[in-house]
Structure 1
Amino acid sequence: MPAAPADLVHNTPEEITEAHRALRESFASGITYDVGFRKHQLKQLSFLLNDNVDAISDAIAKDLGRCKFESVFAEIMLTTNSVLDAHNQCEKWAKDEKIWSGAIWALHHPTVRKDPKGTVLVIGAWNYPISVQIGPMIGALAAGCTVILKPSEVAAHSARLLAELWPKYMDPRMSRVINGAIPETTQLLDLQWEHIMYTGNGTVGRIVAEKAAKYLCPTTLELGGKSPVVVDDDADFNIAAHRILWAKVVNVGQTCIAPDYVLVTKNSQDKLLDAMKKVVKEYFPNGNRESPDFGRVVNDRQFKRLAGILDRTKANVAIGGHFEAPERYMDLTVLQNVQPGDAAMEGEIFGPILPIMSVPNVQGAVDYINANDRPLATYVFGSKNTTNEIIKKTRSGGLVEGDLLLQYVVEDLPFGGSSKSGYGNYHGKAGFDTFTHSRGCVHAPSRGMMGQIAEKALSTRYPPYKDSNLNFMRLLMGKSPNFSRPEKSYSKSSSSSGFGIGKLSALIFLLAAIAFTRPDSLNHFIAQLPKIKS
């Protein structure tokens, strides 16, 4: 059972203001532009995690009643992997990107510079106090931002531990932890940031977005939702049952990408339920309550909400159904013959309750998914044709075929929502990109021989304007279609390609202009050109 809430030390308004000021000043100093400094902080973060596995696991157990295996596997290990990947890749990610945009701009060296956005705010969630709180910070640190982390006060033991550990490992010039509840979060949101990332529910997500709009601050929102599992008649029901129930058992369903409900054909519902009953006995031979591997609901408010679902549901309880308020214990509960308007289908469950709804076929599953808000995740068990149908006809933040939760585990995949399940991505390079401004830069030559060449080549843009100059600029810079004129109505057979001469024309006329104005420099210019890509 989770321990009593910790006495969380709230930061004072003065401390919040000072931390914000100091980090903005630090960013302005340019210290975080040094990739070596960023990598040093990522190294330190990896040791913060590895040195304190027991302390972190103990804090999470007090907050969530979660076993050490889940905390190490699902949080500490995965987050450490993300830190190490960012450390190994951030130098590559941060390099300027040279752009080939045609011969006309060969001397101007078009470049995309990867600049850190500035001072950013990460507001974490209680259900995974490491992975969804420290996780987003990894991309921010790799990108060179200065960061304030506001952990969730609901997981108070974990929040207090992070505040204690942070200054022992991390440089306060780059990142800090601020603790508190609604007043402290409100004060933070009233300050100016260059990016805000929030993980939680849609109600608070709207507040965050509204606050950020004051400064036109970009936001990333990870909001969850009702993530469906589609099981068709061709599925291996034993494998599906093992994987679906495992994903619901982890953190007792208090996971934003947990399976929220199952859509299965009427012909296969009993087969799936039979397999699930066997799996529950296999996972918990002595029952959920007695197992050290089965956690508890985080607090009384969440427990009452979940108990209310079971009290109001009109569905049949196929597995479990027992709950005890004093220790916030609830069985892994599977409901069958659930109807669309049932209490279990009203909102995200975020607990150990799994409704099963029967549909006539895969198209029926597609129709139901599309009639509701876009989920953070979609899961599919069955034939490849079924997966293809779900991918083509539905939308979600992520999708997994034949398993669950793995879209979060694969570090190189962008992780994020769609529509009401959130927007924006993180993990791996996607996290780096979230906290990076890609600044387009052009380095036009303006001195010496190269400056004179560029000046002659583009001097026809100056007043007084002449039609002859405009025609020359069109030839020099304009692009021609590389396709023929299509029919008014589209058909695959009418789509054909033609030969485009835009790039070739630009090159020919640029070389002609240089040869005409500075014949002696033509050979030197050609030597400056990068290899022309087709």
Structure 2
Amino acid sequence: MANFTPVEEIPKIREELHRTFMSGKMRPISYRKEQLARLAYMIHEHADEFREALTADLGRSALETDFLDLRTTLHEITETYRNVEKWSKPDRPGFDFNWFLMSPSIRKDPKGVVLIMGPFNYPMLLILPPLAGALAAGCTVVIKPSELTVATSGLIAKLIPQYLDPDVCRVVMGGVPESTKLLELPWDHILYTGSGRVAKTVLTAAAKHLTPVTTELGGKNPVVIDPKSDLKLAARRLMWGKYTNCGQTCVAPDYVLLPQEIEEVFIKELLEVHSSFYPEGPKNSESYPRMVTKQHAARMKKLLDETQGKLVIGGEVDLDDRYVAPTILKDIHPDDALMEDEIFGPIMPIITVRNEDEAIELINSKDHALAVTVFSQDAAFRSKIFDNTRSGAAIANEMIIYHGTSGLPFGGVGPSGSGGATTGKYSFDVFTHNRASLVGRGFIDTIILNGRYPPHTAAKSKKLEGASPVSLPSRPVGLAPPHAMAQNNRWGFWFAVASNAVDSKV
């Protein structure tokens, strides 16, 4: 509590950042790049401290932290640094003969003062790259790290003021009271990453100020196993994707769907992978993380107590150590306790289905997932699953790493997220207002648009219609013809120009 931000200071922080934004300090691209470079060096120069912090918070090994948080975060920030000038340039819409004389363009304006609320499971990756996107867009930013990752959030709060301009970026530390106060204030955009339950509170609060919100959530991510797929590869990647970060990954597999005839063969492959991953046992392995708090571990125990599934391996829980063993269960019914909400822990239910049609039906009976994953070498099989389901991402033969793939958006659909995507340019776009711009020319009235002014006449209407012809597509088969069809073509433009030019001389 001692390091929490005093609640009464939070409105002042927001107001100070608003003044900075209105001053135009973040308008120059050069200054944005300076802040991005500082952010990159902050991570680079304190990498060991971040590794230690994530070990303390989540029991992570250095390798897991480097692969999932540090390197991906640094890569995304440096990519943003290299591209911010290109991303910030105005866009030009496609050429349109009717409007090109007015130089239409789309300005890339910063939205303003934005709030980034981060989760506990990836306290670097899901806060610092979005921060880079907001800075690149020219916004001023408040970041609110999770209070559950005490060491990592505390390190971010200590380092940000040392590296970034405090007029541009501030950290608010705290729990529910501090978050509540933040959400009472008007923001120009909010990015919230976390649970759907809390997202409803964020969206409700934001609605009072008409604040736009991007939510990055999670959901029950299904994995469909094609019986003709490489089962050894599927087992190895599935075990890695599920138990990385102790299952506390929003794109981790939540449940597995496979046909009855391969269930025992596939379980045998999973058990072999388990033995190879944790030869000394997962509890004694430095490669196996922990739940973030005792309360989160207790939630896993409750799920294990309530499930009607048959235990294949695991099931051990040590609340004091925040340890939940990597667990596999079979004979899971679709209405089982494990199938109600996102598990968000190291428990993997296996459900047998007759075929891919039944798998699709079960997937569609749940909320839209953040990721649907298929293990199959058959393109037709993969397409059938992807074409008939909805999710934030459609992944084949891989697990969770798509978040770090350059150029791909990270975002959900419906209950798994809304309001835009993040990573790289997508983060820049989230915090950028696409502002339409048009330059009126005096001579436009002379050559074409003088017909818009009163008094309105049939002749003026005809000239304006001719100046903006519509070329319809081919008439659909079976659509009854009208009594009369108007014929418009591009020559109408030149007719209108000539007619208006003549009128202007009269």
Task: Tell me the CA shift for residue 359 of structure 1.
Answer: 0.4
Task: Tell me the CA shift for residue 255 of structure 1.
Answer: 0.6
Alignment of structure 1 residues 172-251 onto 2, 5 Å: 172-251=166-245
From 337, 353, 358, the counterpart of 2:352: 358
Retained in 2: the 8 A contact 1:42–1:141? yes
Amino acid of the structure 2 residue aligned with 1:152: S
- Please name the residue that 1:522 is paired with: none
Amino acid of the structure 2 residue aligned with 1:505: G
In 1, distance between residues paired with 2:392 and 2:20?
Answer: 35
Retained in 2: the 8 A contact 1:139–1:431? yes
1:10 paired with 2:4, answer yes
Q: Which deviates more from structure 2 when the two are superposed, residues 256-265 or residues 425-434?
A: 425-434
Name the CA shift for 1:340/1:352 in 2 (closer, same or farther; >3 Å): same
RMSD: 1.9
Q: TM-score, normalised by structure 2?
A: 0.95
In 1, distance between residues paired with 2:271 and 2:423?
Answer: 35
- Please name the residue that 2:253 is paired with: 259
Deviations 1:479-531 (A, max 9, x none): 23142354239xxxxxxxxxx9644532x235525764789xxxxxxxxxxxx
Task: Tell me the CA shift for residue 406 of structure 1.
Answer: 2.5
- Please name the residue that 2:111 is paired with: 117
Amino acid of the structure 1 residue aligned with 2:99: W
In 1, distance between residues paired with 2:238 and 2:340?
Answer: 21
From 505, 510, 514, the counterpart of 2:492: 505
Question: What is the DSSP-based 3-state SS (H/G/I as helix, E as strand, rest coil) of the residue aligned with 1:376?
Answer: strand
Structure 1 runs not aligned, ≥5 long: 1-6, 446-450, 490-499, 520-534
Deviations 1:424-464 (A, max 9, x none): 2111221111111111111011xxxxx23544421111111
Name the CA shift for 1:469/1:123 in 2 (closer, same or farther; >3 Å): same
Task: Tell me the CA shift for residue 81 of structure 1.
Answer: 0.7
Task: Tell me the CA shift for residue 369 of structure 1.
Answer: 0.2
Retained in 2: the 8 A contact 1:42–1:83? yes
Question: What is the DSSP-based 3-state SS (H/G/I as helix, E as strand, rest coil) of the residue aligned with 1:192?
Answer: coil
Question: What is the DSSP-based 3-state SS (H/G/I as helix, E as strand, rest coil) of the residue aligned with 1:71?
Answer: helix
1:305 paired with 2:299, answer yes
Question: What is the DSSP-based 3-state SS (H/G/I as helix, E as strand, rest coil) of the residue aligned with 1:399?
Answer: strand
- Please name the residue that 1:385 is paired with: 380
Question: What is the DSSP-based 3-state SS (H/G/I as helix, E as strand, rest coil) of the residue aligned with 2:267?
Answer: helix
In 2, distance between residues paired with 1:94 and 1:252?
Answer: 39
In 2, distance between residues paired with 1:241 and 1:261?
Answer: 13
Task: Tell me the CA shift for residue 135 of structure 1.
Answer: 2.5
From 425, 432, 435, the counterpart of 2:431: 435
Task: Tell me the CA shift for residue 16 of structure 1.
Answer: 1.3
- Please name the residue that 1:161 is paired with: 155
Amino acid of the structure 2 residue aligned with 1:418: V
In 2, distance between residues paired with 1:228 and 1:115?
Answer: 39
Retained in 1: the 8 A contact 2:370–2:416? yes
Amino acid of the structure 2 residue aligned with 1:512: A
1:467 paired with 2:458, answer yes
Retained in 1: the 8 A contact 2:146–2:153? yes
Question: What is the DSSP-based 3-state SS (H/G/I as helix, E as strand, rest coil) of the residue aligned with 1:417?
Answer: coil
Question: What is the DSSP-based 3-state SS (H/G/I as helix, E as strand, rest coil) of the residue aligned with 2:173?
Answer: coil
1:279 paired with 2:273, answer yes
Retained in 1: the 8 A contact 2:106–2:436? yes
In 1, distance between residues paired with 2:147 and 2:496?
Answer: 63
Task: Tell me the CA shift for residue 13 of structure 1.
Answer: 2.5
Retained in 2: the 8 A contact 1:100–1:110? no
Task: Tell me the CA shift for residue 478 of structure 1.
Answer: 3.5
In 1, distance between residues paired with 2:502 and 2:27?
Answer: 44
Identity over aligned residues, as a percent?
A: 37
Task: Tell me the CA shift for residue 409 of structure 1.
Answer: 1.5
Name the CA shift for 1:272/1:111 in 2 (closer, same or farther; >3 Å): same
Question: What is the DSSP-based 3-state SS (H/G/I as helix, E as strand, rest coil) of the residue aligned with 2:261?
Answer: coil
- Please name the residue that 2:483 is paired with: none
Amino acid of the structure 2 residue aligned with 1:214: K
Deviations 1:115-152 (A, max 9, x none): 11110000000111100121221211111111100000
Deviations 1:236-259 (A, max 9, x none): 110000000001121010111111
Retained in 2: the 8 A contact 1:453–1:514? no
Question: What is the DSSP-based 3-state SS (H/G/I as helix, E as strand, rest coil) of the residue aligned with 1:426?
Answer: coil
In 2, distance between residues paired with 1:485 and 1:355?
Answer: 49
Task: Tell me the CA shift for residue 266 of structure 1.
Answer: 0.5
In 1, distance between residues paired with 2:6 and 2:495?
Answer: 66
Alignment of structure 1 residues 290-329 onto 2, 5 Å: 290-329=284-323
Question: What is the DSSP-based 3-state SS (H/G/I as helix, E as strand, rest coil) of the residue aligned with 1:398?
Answer: strand
1:414 paired with 2:401, answer no
1:330 paired with 2:316, answer no
Question: What is the DSSP-based 3-state SS (H/G/I as helix, E as strand, rest coil) of the residue aligned with 2:333?
Answer: coil
Deviations 1:48-86 (A, max 9, x none): 111111101111111111111111110010011110111
From 457, 466, 469, the counterpart of 2:448: 457
Name the CA shift for 1:503/1:145 in 2 (closer, same or farther; >3 Å): farther
- Please name the residue that 1:481 is paired with: 472
In 2, distance between residues paired with 1:55 and 1:436?
Answer: 32
Amino acid of the structure 1 residue aligned with 2:434: S
Retained in 2: the 8 A contact 1:8–1:179? no
- Please name the residue that 2:393 is paired with: 398
Retained in 1: the 8 A contact 2:260–2:353? yes
Amino acid of the structure 2 residue aligned with 1:251: N
Name the CA shift for 1:241/1:454 in 2 (closer, same or farther; >3 Å): same
